[in-house]
């Protein structure tokens, strides 16, 4: 059979789109730290010397949005116009409205409550929108994520670490990575087909030095040498010079890296972005819950690969559909796993918010380098504490 090639990409925190995600989530974090019940849908756009923050925010708290935007840009590393953007001198414009009263009414009091079917006041929260949310897990890596996206994220983060530590002082904040892995028919990684790293750099460093040092300090420290063979294509800045970067080189927008944020294209995507949205928006909270369920299924040994799909109607608490697909890798039938999931996971928005404790400022930390498979930060949807009970129930037939 022909080789199965899978590719995923990531971007650094200095990529213009990721800058916008981080600004939006930094604003969200500061608001929910002061007003956990706030409704936030915050969008950021950025271009040369200019930041626009817009959206719908309903809150009792006051936060200094321009200050948060500037400090986020500074933390990313755009501290001088010489590298393309200056956190102190850039223009910041805000255009904020309150959440629509029509939407708020459906979220505040769910369809179930309005029709006498609510089970508790605590969980009387309707979904903030309709849509599909997808979670995925597989056994390719310890964090139960696809190897391609895990490597791409690690390469991008390594670029940032080498820049900030001074290990490679000529690196600049903007950058991208991409990894293509060849798999066998059983979804086991065989080898790396291609590795791509593109990084912004100082104007006085030559191309050969960029290629040599990125290979030595970035790629060789992240990618297992056993995956690289003589046929592996390794590209460093394949377009050549990369001095003009960040918002000076390309405009950025919140929510434009949804595949980077999730599973690198290995799983499907419902289309909703995460950053800047409070947890009543199921685009975010239900996607986290779907990952929580899928990861628990794989951690329980019930399947090697699992995709969980949820769907919601605006203003309705209970999902309109829940589906589990183990792609033929399940140890028990998918129907038995689905029945067990129904017993161990309450997928109403109010229950998700409660069980994952989402009314907290934990979101900026995942606004770069992926929302899933993260370690060392507060990501409750990565917890697999329910795995043993789920496995026992599924093996009994749900």
283 is catalytic: yes
- In the annotation, is 343 catalytic? no
Active-site residue identified among 25, 112, 283, 325: 283
Instruction: Identify whether 211 is a catalytic site residue.
Output: no
Is residue 184 annotated as part of the catalytic site, yes or no? Answer: no
Q: Catalytic pick from 256, 284, 348, 386?
A: 256
User: Is 43 one of the catalytic residues?
Assistant: yes
* Token representation of residue 60: 């009792």
Contact yes or no for 276/55 (Cβ under 8 A): yes
Find the DSSP H helices in 254-333.
Answer: 258-261, 282-299
Q: Is 256 a catalytic residue?
A: yes
DSSP state of 217: I
Task: Tell me 297's DSSP state.
Answer: H
- Burial (CB < 10 A; 0-12, 13-18, 19+), residue 246, is buried
Residue of 39, 281, 304, 386 marked active site: 281
From 153, 172, 277, 386, the catalytic residue: 277
Cβ atoms of 271 and 132 within 8 Å: the answer is yes
Catalytic residue among 70, 172, 257, 364: 257
- The answer to whether the CB of 258 falls within 8 A of the CB of 269 is yes
Query: 39, 176, 291, 295: which one is catalytic?
Result: 176
Q: Is 290 a catalytic residue?
A: no
DSSP string, 15-32: SHHHHHHHHHHHHHHHHH
Catalytic residue selected from 9, 13, 18, 325: 18
Q: How many whole angstroms separate alpha carbon 377 and alpha carbon 47?
A: 30
Verify whether residue 371 is a known catalytic residue.
Answer: no
Of the candidates 250, 331, 346, 389, the residue annotated as catalytic is 250
Is 17 assigned a catalytic role? Answer: yes
Kindly name the residue from 9, 25, 43, 325 that is annotated as catalytic.
43
Is residue 217 among the annotated active site residues? no
Q: What is the largest CA-CA distance in the chain?
A: 70
DSSP 321: E
Q: Is 15 assigned a catalytic role?
A: yes
The catalytically annotated residue of 33, 34, 50, 56 is: 56
- Compute the half-sphere exposure of residue 174: CA atoms within 13 Å on the CB side of its CA: 22
Q: From the candidates 242, 274, 345, 372, which is the catalytic residue?
A: 242
- 91-97 and 50-58 beta bridge pairing: parallel
Among the listed residues 33, 194, 251, 365, the single catalytic one is 251
DSSP notation for 360-393: SS-SGGGSSS-SSS--SS--GGG--TTHHHHHHH
- Look up residue 208 and give its two tokens: 């050969």
User: Which residues are known catalytic residues?
Assistant: 15, 17-18, 43, 56, 176, 242, 250-251, 256-257, 277, 281, 283
């Amino acid at each position: 059979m022909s080789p199965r090639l899978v590719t995923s990409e990531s971007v650094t925190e200095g990529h213009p789109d990721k800058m916008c995600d981080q600004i939006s989530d930094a604003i969200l974090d500061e608001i929910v730290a002061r007003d956990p019940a706030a409704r936030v849908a915050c969008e950021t756009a950025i271009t040369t010397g200019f930041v626009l923050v817009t959206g719908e925010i309903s809150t009792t708290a006051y936060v200094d949005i321009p200050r948060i935007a500037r400090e986020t840009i500074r933390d990313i590393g755009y501290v001088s116009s010489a590298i393309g953007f200056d956190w102190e001198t850039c223009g910041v414009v805000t255009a904020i409205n309150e959440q629509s009263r029509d939407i708020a009414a459906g979220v505040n009091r769910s369809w179930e409550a309005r029709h006498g079917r609510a089970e508790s006041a605590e969980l009387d929260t309707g979904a903030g929108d309709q849509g599909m949310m997808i979670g995925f897990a597989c056994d390719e890596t310890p964090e139960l994520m696809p190897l391609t996206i895990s490597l791409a994220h690690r390469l991008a983060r390594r670029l940032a670490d080498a820049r900030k530590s001074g290990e490679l002082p000529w690196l600049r904040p903007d950058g991208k990575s991409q990894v293509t892995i060849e798999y066998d028919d059983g979804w086991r990684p065989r080898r790396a087909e291609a590795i791509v790293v593109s990084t912004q750099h100082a104007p006085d460093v030559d191309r050969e030095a960029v290629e040599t040092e990125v290979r030595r300090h970035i790629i060789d420290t992240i990618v297992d040498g056993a995956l690289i063979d003589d046929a592996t294509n390794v590209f460093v800045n394949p377009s050549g010079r990369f001095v003009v970067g960040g918002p000076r080189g390309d405009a950025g927008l919140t929510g434009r890296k949804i595949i980077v944020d999730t599973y690198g294209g290995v799983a499907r995507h419902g289309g909703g972005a995460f950053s800047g949205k409070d947890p009543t928006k199921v685009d975010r909270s239900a996607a986290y819950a779907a990952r929580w369920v899928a990861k628990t299924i794989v951690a329980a040994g019930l399947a090697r690969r699992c995709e969980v799909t949820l769907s919601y109607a605006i203003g309705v608490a209970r999902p309109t559909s829940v589906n589990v697909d183990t792609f033929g890798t399940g140890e028990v039938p998918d129907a038995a796993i689905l029945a067990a999931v129904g017993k161990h996971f309450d997928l109403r928005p109010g229950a998700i918010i409660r069980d994952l404790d989402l009314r907290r400022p934990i979101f900026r930390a995942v606004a770069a380098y992926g929302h899933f498979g993260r370690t060392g930060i507060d990501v409750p949807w990565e917890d697999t504490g329910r795995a043993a009970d789920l496995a026992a129930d599924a093996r009994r037939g749900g």
